[in-house]
Amino acid sequence: MSEQEFVRRTQALRMRLYRTAYAYLGGEAAALDAVDEAVYQALRHLRQLREPELFETWLTRILIRACCRELKRLRRLHPAEYLPEAGEDFDYDALPLREAVARLPQELRQVIVLRYFGDLTLAQTAETLGIPQGTAATRQRRALALLRLELKEGGLV
């Protein structure tokens, strides 16, 4: 894949990558930093991409790793003080949902973030995470059941 092709395809994915990073990190600045880091890492390792048709999945996996590293860094720097940023377009009604998603185990949270915040299909989610589609479907059902239970207990459903 040429660098021009890389730039063209990355630009087409930029908003989806941002939404995914925002769902993971909860803040605009952190999400933008994670997307930039993921694009930089992808460009550095472009020669390692064996199958260009899987570019979107490859780049999303790099982004997820960048988000996980950023979360670890933020928790280490500000263990009790780190809260998501509240921008002008922040949906305060979605805060209990965001908190409930953040409390899910990582393997379940990844599926929910990619499916509902990253707008990926179940097949794309499974491919991105490197798991069978049936496993992704099971994790999605389990995560949704946990979210329903938690939101019911909080009186939100």
- Over residues 66-103, the pLDDT tens digits come to 888 887 777 666 544 444 444 444 444 456 777 788 88
Measuring CA to CA, which residue among 100, 97, 110, 118 is closest to residue 136? 110
pLDDT of residue 149: 84
DSSP string, 62-81: HHHHHHHHHHHHHHHH-TTT
Domain boundaries, the chain: 1-90, 92-157
CATH no., domain 92-157: 1.10.10.10
Quote the tokens at residue 154.
């909080």
Question: Which residues of the chain, if any, have pLDDT below 50?
Answer: 79-93
Do 1-90 and 92-157 show the same overall fold?
Answer: no
Taking the C-alpha atoms of residue 106 and residue 68, their distance in angstroms, rounded to an integer, is: 10
* Answer CATH for 1-90 from 1.10.3470, 2.60.40, 1.10.1740, 1.10.10: 1.10.1740
Confidence at residue 68, expressed as pLDDT on a 0 to 100 scale:
83
